[in-house]
Amino acid sequence: MTDQPHHEAREVLTNIAFRRDNLATERRQWVAIAWRGGDRNVNALADAADVSRNTIYADLKAQGLDRSTPVEEES
């Protein structure tokens, strides 16, 4: 029975690692959603995500978004 807390702790640690590994992907997706929705303030997006503006620019690029394209031209 003493192994149970250790097993549970390992399971929690594994879940934390999985979530950590997926945070960047999730952030990129939400940055793209905000961008496509018309939120083009890179500083505000970076502040909201607690990342640098360069990270937001990289996220946009990774999502195939060109920051110079007007909102109405994106689909």
Domain extent at residue 55: 3-73
Q: How many domains does the chain have?
A: 1
Give the model's pLDDT for residue 1. 46
Residue 64 to residue 69: CA distance in whole angstroms: 11
Give the model's pLDDT for residue 69. 72
How confident is residue 72, by pLDDT bands cut at 50, 70 and 90? low
pLDDT in tens, 20-31: 999 999 999 999
pTM of the model: 0.75
Mean pLDDT of 36-51: 96
Nearest-5° angle of CA 38, CA 22, CA 75? 25
